[in-house]
C-alpha cells in the first residue's frame, strides 16, 4: 500500500474546512459566501477552519488584496483556527509531490509552444471535437525531457489523465459524473518551482487534513482533475459541496453593475457585519421558514446542505438595505452613536481632537465640545429611518449648523399665508417659552403643543384636524428642509435656547428682515 495512503487511513481528524481566497482582488460577496458557509459548517460540527491564501498567480496577487481579505474576515467575525498560510511559501512541498508524479510516470514535461496548442485547439473545434491536448509530448522519456530542458527548451508539466468515468457525490447536487476522455492531459505546473491551482489545492487539502471542500459551482469542472491527482498520489478524497452561482436580478453573473461592491466598501457605506452575514447566508440557502433575521448562532444551528439550492442565487440590493435597517433598529443607541461618529467627522460636522489620551469631538463651526449624549439623542431619533450608517450625516447635518438658509415659501403649509405662518410660529414660541429647560423633553413638548392645534386652526379658518398648519412651520424653522424627523424630536435635540433662536430667525425671515447664509456652508 502506498505510504501516503497508509498515513491517510490512520487519520482520525474531525471536520476540517478551508477558507481559500485568492488575493487577486478585493474581498467580494462570492469570497464572503464561501468563507461564511465553511465557517458555519465547521462550527456546527465542532471542526476547525484553515485559512489559506491561494496566491500562486504571482502577477495578479497583491499584498493589499490579501490584507483587505484578512481585515474583512475579522470585521465580519469569520475567524479561523489555523493560518493564514500562503501558497507561495509552500513551493518546496509542491515540488516534492510533483517529482513523485513525474517519477511514477503520472506526469510529464510538455514542450509544445502556445502557437502549436492553439492551432490544434482550433482544428479540434472545427471538427466539433472537445479541445483537449493531443498527447504529442506524452511519450517523451524523463531522460529526453531533462536533456531538452538543459538545452534551454521551455516546458510545462502535464498530468497524464486516465480516460475513465469519474464520479463523486456532491453534498448539494448529489452524484456527479465526468468522462475522463474529455479532460485530456492538463497542465499542473509551469516547472517544479511553480505549481498551478489544481495541483496545489490537492496537496494542501491533504497536508492540512481538509475533510470538506465547500466552494462555488464554478469549481465543479476542476473537481474531476483534482480527483485524478488525488488518486495518482494515493491521497484520500474530501467531500465536496458546490454552492450555486450568485447572479444579478437579470440572471447574469453578479457584477458591480448589479450594485455589488467589495466587503470593505459595504463597511464604508455603513452596513453592519451582522446584516451582511445574514444577507449572504440566504444567497443559496433557505431554511424553509418565514424567519428572515438570523444571528450567527441560529445560522450554525439551522444550516444544512439539503437546504442549499442548486439554481443560481439572486443578489438583491434592496433586500440587503432592508436587513441592514432591521439590524440598525435593534442597535442600542449608545452603540449606534459610536458607529455613526466617523460619518459626522468625514462630513465635516465634527472634528476630532486628542485630550488626555481620549478623543474629544467638537463642532468645527462653533468650537463647542460635542458630547456623545448629544449624538446618541440624534441617532435615537434617526434610527428607524436609516438603511445604512452613511446616511446619518446628511439626514442630521442641520443640528450642527449655527444658521439655516431656506426659501421663505418653504415655511408655508398648503394654502397658508405668510401672516398665518407667522402666527403659527408665534403660537409655538409662546408655548415653548412656558416650558422650563429642565422639562425640555419630546413628550412634554408634544403634550404642551398638540392640544392647541384645533384652537389655532379654527382661529385662522383652517381644517380643525390638519396639524400641518401649526407644526409644518416649526419643522422647517428647526431644520430648513422638507424631510426630517419630527419637530418635537428636533426641538428635544436642539434644546430650548437653540430652538428659540431658530424660531426667531424664521419669524424674522417672514418679516423680510434677514437673509440667512447657505445651509451647508462649511
Answer with the one of 301, 330, 359 that is the final residue of a domain: 330
| Residue 283 shares a structural domain with residue 307 | yes
Residue 253 is given by DSSP the state B
Name the grid cell of 344: 459626522
- 393 and 316 in a common domain: no
Give me the helices (H) in 86-242, please.
91-103, 114-126, 142-150, 197-207, 223-233
Clarify whether residues 496 and 442 are in a common domain.
Answer: yes
Domain that holds residue 54: 1-89+244-330
CATH of residue 479's domain is 1.10.10.350
Average pLDDT for 14-19: 97
Over the chain, what is the mean pLDDT?
Answer: 93
Domain presence at residue 369: yes
Of 198, 179, 185, the residue nearest 132 (C-alpha): 185
Confidence class for position 67, pLDDT limits 50, 70, 90: very high
Q: Is residue 58 part of a domain?
A: yes
Long-range contacts of 477-482 (CB under 8 A, 24+ apart): 477/411, 477/425, 477/502, 477/503, 477/505, 477/506, 478/398, 478/502, 478/503, 479/398, 479/404, 480/398, 480/404, 480/405, 480/406, 480/410, 480/519, 481/398, 481/406, 481/410, 481/519, 482/410
The domain tally of the chain equals 3
In this predicted structure, the answer to whether residue 8 has a pLDDT above a threshold of 60 is no
Q: Are residues 346 and 419 in the same domain?
A: no
Phi and psi of 264, rounded to 5°? -60, -35
Do 354 and 321 lie in one domain? The reply is no
Q: Is 406 helix (H, G, I), strand (E, B) or coil?
A: coil
Q: Does 81 share its domain with 6? A: yes
Give the model confidence (pLDDT) of 163-216 as tens digits: 999 999 999 999 999 999 999 999 999 999 999 999 999 999 999 999 999 999
pLDDT tens profile 323-346: 999 999 999 999 999 999 999 999
Q: Which three cell numbers stand for residue 184?
A: 485530456
Q: Is residue 378 part of a domain?
A: yes
Confidence of residue 258 (pLDDT cuts 50, 70, 90): confident
The answer to whether position 307 is within a domain reads yes
Whether residue 495 sits in one domain with residue 432:
yes
Could you say which DSSP state residue 153 is in? -
Residues 350 and 320 in one domain: no
Examine the fold and report which residue of 275, 302, 330 is the final residue of a domain before the chain moves on. 330
The reported pLDDT for the residue numbered 312 is: 92
pLDDT digits over 439-483, tens only? Answer: 999 999 999 999 999 999 999 999 999 999 999 999 999 999 999
The answer, yes or no, to whether residue 142 has pLDDT greater than 60, is: yes
CA nearest 21: which of 45, 60, 47? 60
Per residue in 379-426, pLDDT (tens digit) is 999 999 999 999 999 999 999 999 999 999 999 999 999 999 999 999
Q: What's the pLDDT score for residue 59?
A: 93
Write the CB contacts of 330 (distance below 8 Å, at least 6 apart in sequence): none
Domain end (from 311, 330, 349): 330
**Predicted pLDDT at 522:** 32
Q: Which helix (H) or strand (E) holds 109?
A: strand 107-110
User: pLDDT tens for residues 27-54?
Assistant: 999 999 999 999 999 999 999 999 999 9
Q: Could you tell me which residue, 257 or 393, shows the higher pLDDT? A: 393
Amino acid at each position: 500500500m502506498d505510504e501516503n495512503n497508509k498515513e491517510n487511513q490512520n487519520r482520525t481528524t474531525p471536520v476540517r474546512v478551508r477558507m481559500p481566497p485568492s488575493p487577486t482582488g478585493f474581498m467580494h460577496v462570492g469570497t464572503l459566501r464561501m468563507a461564511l458557509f465553511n465557517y458555519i459548517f465547521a462550527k456546527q460540527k465542532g471542526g476547525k477552519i484553515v485559512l489559506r491564501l491561494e496566491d500562486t498567480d504571482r502577477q495578479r496577487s497583491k499584498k493589499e488584496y490579501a490584507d483587505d481579505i484578512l481585515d474583512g474576515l475579522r470585521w465580519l467575525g469569520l475567524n479561523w483556527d489555523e493560518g493564514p498560510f500562503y501558497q507561495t511559501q509552500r513551493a518546496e512541498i509542491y515540488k516534492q509531490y510533483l517529482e513523485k508524479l513525474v517519477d511514477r510516470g503520472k506526469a510529464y514535461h510538455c514542450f509544445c509552444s502556445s502557437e502549436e496548442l492553439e492551432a490544434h485547439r482550433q482544428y479540434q473545434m472545427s471538427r466539433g471535437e472537445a479541445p483537449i491536448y493531443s498527447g504529442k509530448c506524452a511519450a517523451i522519456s524523463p531522460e529526453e525531457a531533462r536533456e531538452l530542458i538543459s538545452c534551454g527548451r521551455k516546458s510545462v508539466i502535464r498530468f497524464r489523465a486516465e480516460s475513465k468515468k469519474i464520479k463523486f457525490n456532491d453534498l448539494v447536487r448529489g452524484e456527479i459524473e465526468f468522462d475522463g476522455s474529455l479532460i485530456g492531459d492538463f497542465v499542473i505546473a509551469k516547472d517544479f518551482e511553480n505549481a498551478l491551482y489544481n495541483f496545489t489545492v490537492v496537496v494542501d487539502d491533504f497536508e492540512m487534513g481538509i475533510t470538506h471542500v465547500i466552494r462555488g459551482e464554478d469549481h465543479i469542472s476542476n473537481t474531476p482533475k483534482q480527483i485524478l491527482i488525488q488518486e495518482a498520489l494515493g491521497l484520500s478524497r474530501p467531500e465536496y459541496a458546490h454552492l450555486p452561482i450568485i447572479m444579478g436580478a437579470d440572471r447574469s453573473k453578479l457584477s458591480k453593475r448589479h450594485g455589488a461592491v467589495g466587503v470593505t466598501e459595504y463597511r464604508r457605506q455603513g452596513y453592519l457585519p451582522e446584516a451582511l452575514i445574514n444577507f449572504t447566508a440566504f444567497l443559496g440557502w433557505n431554511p424553509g421558514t418565514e424567519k428572515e433575521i438570523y444571528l450567527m448562532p441560529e445560522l450554525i444551528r439551522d444550516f444544512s446542505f439539503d437546504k442549499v439550492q442548486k439554481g443560481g442565487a439572486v443578489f438583491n440590493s434592496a433586500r440587503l438595505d432592508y436587513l441592514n435597517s432591521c439590524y440598525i433598529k435593534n442597535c442600542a443607541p449608545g452603540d449606534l452613536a459610536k458607529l455613526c461618529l466617523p460619518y459626522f467627522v468625514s462630513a465635516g460636522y465634527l472634528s476630532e481632537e486628542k485630550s488626555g489620551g481620549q478623543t474629544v469631538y467638537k463642532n468645527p463651526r462653533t468650537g463647542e465640545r460635542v458630547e456623545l449624549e448629544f449624538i446618541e439623542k440624534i441617532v435615537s431619533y434617526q434610527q428607524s429611518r436609516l438603511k445604512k450608517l452613511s446616511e446619518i450625516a446628511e439626514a442630521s447635518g442641520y443640528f450642527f449648523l449655527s444658521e439655516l438658509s431656506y426659501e421663505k415659501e418653504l415655511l408655508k403649509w398648503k394654502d397658508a399665508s405668510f401672516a398665518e405662518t407667522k402666527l403659527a410660529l408665534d403660537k409655538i414660541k409662546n408655548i415653548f417659552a412656558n416650558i422650563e429647560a429642565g422639562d425640555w423633553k419630546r413628550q412634554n413638548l408634544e403634550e404642551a403643543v398638540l392640544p392647541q392645534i384645533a384652537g389655532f386652526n379654527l382661529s385662522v379658518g383652517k381644517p380643525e384636524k390638519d396639524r400641518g398648519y401649526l407644526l409644518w412651520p416649526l419643522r422647517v424653522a428647526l431644520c430648513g428642509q422638507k424631510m426630517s424627523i419630527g419637530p418635537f424630536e428636533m426641538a428635544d435635540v436642539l434644546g430650548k435656547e437653540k430652538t428659540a433662536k431658530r424660531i426667531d430667525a424664521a419669524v424674522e425671515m417672514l418679516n423680510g428682515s434677514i437673509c440667512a447664509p447657505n445651509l451647508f456652508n462649511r
